[in-house]
Amino acid sequence: MQLFKDQHISIYNSLTGKKELFKPINDGHVGMYVCGPTVYSNVHLGNVRTFMSFDMIFRYLKHLGYKVRYVRNITDAGHLENDADAGEDKITKKARLEQIEPMEVVQRYTVDFHNILNTFNFLPPSIEPTATGHIIEQIELIKNIIDNGFAYEVNGSVYFDVHKFNESHEYGKLSKRKLEDLIHNTRELDGQSDKKNPQDFALWKKAEPQHIMRWPSPWGDGFPGWHLECTAMSTKYLGDRFDIHGGGMDLKFPHHECEIAQNEAAKGETPVNYWMHANMLELNGQRMSKTTGNTVNPDELLSGNNKFFSKAFAPSVIRFFIAQAHYRSVLDLTDDGLLASEKGFLRLMEAINLLDGLTASSASTIDLNAWKKACYDAMNDDFNSPILIAHLFEAVKFINQIKDGKATLTENDLKTLKDTINIFTFDVLGLENVSKTNSGTDKLSAAVDILIQLRQEARANKDFALSDKIRDELANSGIQLKDGKDGTTFSVN
Ligand code: AMP
Ligand code: ZN
């Protein structure tokens, strides 16, 4: 379906602070890079939100007919605990704490990441490169940066010379920071650092003798800097300049700022035409973050096994909840919000399941072309999924009116309605139909409800042996009953 020629997408470019008409470098092709996870622990729902926003964008671009090369990396080395190049490598630290190989840490959490994305119906990216698989490319980049005079070696580590770079380039242009302000705001590192200036950042770090993840380089054994990995992997697969670079808002500085500086210093070319930043997911009003521990993991939300939410939620309900906010808005994950999304999602699915039963008429009383155009306009306007969803709910109204004989559509219009709803709900938003995916969950719920009822009857008859047996056997099958003041609920482990 070659639709892209008729659709004009505008994208909010974080670099310019404006919405801009999207023009890919190569007609009909899009190169998109998104910073992937650092695989040293389970992803939380905040991480999932960011990747989901870009999954939706990938889906929409594909739907329009673009050939998209979507690269999302796995950071499996080099991400230090602290942005000022201090602290341990996150993966090495985890390996030390758990007394396993760093690559076991990487494997465990990469598998976990993929399982979660499958559960939420993500499309796989076109390429998923790892940092450790691109050490040679990173060394080559560092050599270029040194040759161009923007990096220096000290004691086996190589640092990017931010001050030198800023004499001829603009460091801070993405995050709207000025080097002078950074100088005022950066703490001196108590003479512990080899850096000329605290604003400089590591391209290559010398590996101390006990450091397990190490590679030979012209500067001795060491490991690459985190910012450099993304420059190496994005430009290797998408070219020195590509269309879209995405990530969470928290990566704008220093990570993405440093990516720009590295590419300009190595290749004399700014790497990206459209910088896109997804906003943060909060949990009960506070940013979800691994470091503060204010997190909920997807499996805890899916099983209902957590201290924040009243029940379990299906993956598509969570996906729908996330799509109900624009990707650039902060989104607060709350029980009320999820319950409301669940209702809305089920209402949408119920209407979609009525579509096949609707009959066509000889005339249409609804302007379907205007409605379809509004759906595209919403997504063309910087991927405005909440507005798109509002239009899908208009369609729910149409469906119910047609069912009740209060509106009519011709055969053609009815087909347009079905096709458009299906495209946006399933292909673009990536939701899965309740009759398909939730039937298992719904049936389980119904069955457990019957057992809860039987247990209550047993208790009423003072047959405690039976009531305990029901509870214990369910627990043995991984289903926990919880007795509360409003009755008994359950969670699945
Ligand atoms: P990390 O594994 O920490 O490098 O993070 C992976 C991705 O998740 C990055 O793009 C982060 O910007 C993003 N991220 C981290 N915390 C949140 C949050 N609370 N809400 C949305 N995205 C987040
Ligand atoms: Zn990155």
Q: How high does pLDDT run on average in the chain? A: 93
The Cα–Cα gap between 399 and 111 comes to: 41
> Measured between alpha carbons, how far is 363 from 437 in angstroms, rounded to an integer?
35
Task: Point out the ligand nearest to the CA of residue 291.
Answer: 1
Residue 284 host element (H or E) = none
Ligand 1: which residues within 6 Å by Cβ? Answer: 35, 37-38, 46-47, 49-50, 247-248, 250-251, 280-281, 287-289
d(CA 112, CA 74): 12
Both tokens of 463, joined, read: 């047959």
Q: Which residues contact 181 (CB under 8 A, 6 or more apart)?
A: none
Residue 73 alpha carbon to ligand 1 centre in Å: 13
State whether residue 66 is helix, strand or coil.
coil
Ligand number nearest to the C-alpha of 259: 2
Q: Is residue 291 domain-shared with residue 315, that is, in the same domain? A: yes
Distances (CA, A) of 269 to 42, 139, 238: 36, 19, 14
Q: What is the CATH number of the domain that holds 67?
A: 3.40.50.620
Among 34, 35, 44, 47, the mutation site with the greatest number of ligand 1 atoms within 8 A of its Cβ is 47
Q: What are the tens digits of pLDDT across the range 83-132?
A: 777 778 888 889 888 899 999 999 999 999 999 999 999 999 999 999 99
3-class secondary structure, 72: strand
**Distance (Å, rounded) from C-alpha 449 to C-alpha 470?**
12
Provide the pLDDT confidence category of residue 435 given band limits of 50, 70 and 90.
low
The atom number, within ligand 1, closest to the CA of 281 reads: 20
Same domain for 318 and 457?
A: no
Flag whether pLDDT at 441 surpasses 80. no
**pLDDT tens digit sequence for 391-405:** 999 999 999 999 999
Residue nearest to atom 6 of ligand 1 (CA): 37
**166 & 312 share domain:** no
Residues 429 and 446 in one domain: no
pLDDT at residue 177, as a whole number: 94
What number is the average pLDDT over the span 384-393?
A: 98
Local structure of 78: helix, strand or coil:
coil
- 1: amino acid identity, one letter: M
Q: Is 79 annotated as a binding residue?
A: no
Judgement on whether residues 315 and 261 belong to the same structural domain of the protein: no
CA distance 327 to 479: 35
Shared domain for 267 and 416, answered yes or no, is: no
Number of residues in the chain: 493
Q: How many structural domains does the chain have?
A: 3
Give the range of the structural domain holding residue 474, as residue numbers without chain letter: 440-492
Residues with CB under 5 A from ligand 2 (ion): 35, 230
CATH of the domain at 332: 1.10.730
Q: What is the pLDDT of residue 117?
A: 97
In terms of DSSP H, where are the helices of 250-367? 257-267, 298-303, 315-323, 335-354
What are the helix and strand counts (H, E) for the chain?
A: 17, 15
> Percentage of the chain with pLDDT > 70?
95
Specify the pLDDT at position 180. 87
pLDDT, tens only, 366-378: 999 999 999 999 9
pLDDT of residue 455: 92
Q: How far is the CA of 111 from the centre of ligand 1 (A)?
A: 18
Q: How far apart are CA 338 and CA 260, in angstroms?
A: 38
| Residue whose CA lies nearest to ligand 1 atom number 18 | 46
Contact in structure between 426 and 418 (CB atoms under 8 Å): no
The DSSP result for 136-178, as a single string, is HHHHHHHHHHHHTTSEEEETTEEEE-HHHHHHHS-TTTTTT--
From the CA of 37, give the closest atom in ligand 1: 2
Q: From residue 444, how far is each of 216, 440, 448, 451 by CA, in Å? A: 55, 6, 6, 11
Mutate to test the pocket of ligand 1, among 38, 43, 50 (most ligand atoms within 8 A of CB): 50
Q: Of 436, 459, 477, which residue sits at a domain end?
A: 436
pLDDT tens readout for residues 310-346: 999 999 999 999 999 999 999 999 999 999 999 999 9
Shared domain check, 452 and 418: no
CA distance 113 to 50: 13
**Which token pair is 68?**
């998209």
Q: Whose CA is nearest to atom 11 of ligand 1?
A: 248
Whether 429 and 457 map to the same domain: the answer is no
Domain boundary among 278, 305, 339: 278
On whether both 119 and 243 belong to a single domain, the answer is: yes
Q: Is 153 annotated as a binding residue?
A: no
State whether 292 and 271 are in the same domain.
no
Give the ligand at the shortest distance from the Cα of 232.
2
Smallest Cα–Cα separation from 75: which of 45, 46, 47? 47
Give me the mean pLDDT over the 407-416 stretch.
Answer: 97
Q: For residue 67, give Cα distances in angstroms to 1, 169, 242, 430.
A: 11, 33, 14, 18
Do 194 and 155 meet the contact criterion of CB atoms below 8 Å apart? yes
Question: pLDDT for 135-186, tens place per residue?
Answer: 999 999 999 999 999 999 999 999 999 999 999 999 999 999 999 888 887 7
368-380 vs 411-422: helix crossing angle, rounded to 10: 20
* 328 Cα distance to chain centroid: 12
- Consult the annotation and say whether 230 binds a ligand: yes
State the distance from the centre of ligand 1 to the C-alpha of 175, rounded, in angstroms: 17
* Same domain, residue pair 426 and 475: no
At which of 394, 421, 436 does a domain end?
436
Confidence (pLDDT) at 89: 87
Shared domain for 79 and 158, answered yes or no, is yes
Half-sphere exposure of 369 (CA within 13 A, CB side): 3
